[in-house]
Amino acid sequence: MLAHYLTTALRNLRREPTSTLISVLTLALGLVCFITAYAVIAYWQRGDSHFANAERTYVITANFDYQEAGIRTGTFANTNEHYAKYLRTEFPELETVARVYGFDDVSIGTAERGFRGYRAVADQEFLDAFDLRFIAGDPDNALRQPFSVVLTEDAAARLFGDEDPMGKSNWRTCASRSALSRSAAWL
């Protein structure tokens, strides 16, 4: 049966090479589009499934619309502090309410090194909801003190080189003081 299909395909290629190549390329493009769409959907469905609480975690988004200025920001996973307060009040059965906000690109540095990176400010309950893998430090007490940070391995290497970053306090950022007075997580 396969030999018959190959014979027919070669015969069509000799008779009508242009239309046969167009048909083959169209089928190949359709297959690539299908595989790409499937991979994107599978990624978004399973992207956070490695977290222990993934089935019980929900994200509240906000769409900011500044009508007077004519600005629409679109939908962001970013809300103000009142959401967390009222969620705790209205739904006391919620185990944890944690906010991550202030996603922005900032300059981060020490006296010797610096780079541009992304910063997110997180409530201390963030690490109660997400079981992040820690290389060093105590995940139970991280983000509990003001001005505490959680660094990625790459950010720690950029800031401190081969030195141990634990307990260091000489980092600086071009973020507002009000954002740094809360706990911060560097992502």
User: What local confidence, expressed as pLDDT, does residue 175 receive?
Assistant: 41
Q: Based on the fold, state whether residues 24 and 113 are members of the same structural domain.
A: no
Give the chain's domain count. 2
Q: Based on the fold, state whether residues 42 and 66 are members of the same structural domain.
A: no
Q: Based on the fold, state whether residues 15 and 63 are members of the same structural domain.
A: no
Q: Based on the fold, state whether residues 70 and 148 are members of the same structural domain.
A: yes
Q: Based on the fold, state whether residues 70 and 127 are members of the same structural domain.
A: yes
H/E run at residue 103: strand 100-109
User: What local confidence, expressed as pLDDT, does residue 186 receive?
Assistant: 45
Q: Based on the fold, state whether residues 134 and 154 are members of the same structural domain.
A: yes
CA angle 75, 77, 81 (to 5 degrees): 115
Q: Based on the fold, state whether residues 66 and 155 are members of the same structural domain.
A: yes
Q: Based on the fold, state whether residues 96 and 170 are members of the same structural domain.
A: yes
Q: Based on the fold, state whether residues 128 and 156 are members of the same structural domain.
A: yes
pLDDT, tens digit only, all 187 positions of the chain: 889 988 988 888 899 889 888 988 999 999 999 999 999 999 888 877 778 887 888 888 777 777 777 777 777 777 777 888 888 889 889 888 888 877 777 777 777 777 888 888 888 888 888 888 888 888 888 888 777 888 888 888 888 888 887 877 655 554 433 333 334 444 4
Can you tell me the distance from the alpha carbon of 4 to that of 164, in angstroms, rounded to the nearest whole number?
Answer: 68
User: What local confidence, expressed as pLDDT, does residue 99 receive?
Assistant: 83
DSSP one-letter code for 132: P
Q: Based on the fold, state whether residues 166 and 87 are members of the same structural domain.
A: yes
Q: Based on the fold, state whether residues 99 and 169 are members of the same structural domain.
A: yes
Q: If DSSP codes are grouped into helix, strand and coil, which group holds residue 101?
A: strand
Helix 17-46, helix 2-15: angle, nearest 10: 120
For residue 181, give its domain range: 54-186
Q: Based on the fold, state whether residues 76 and 136 are members of the same structural domain.
A: yes
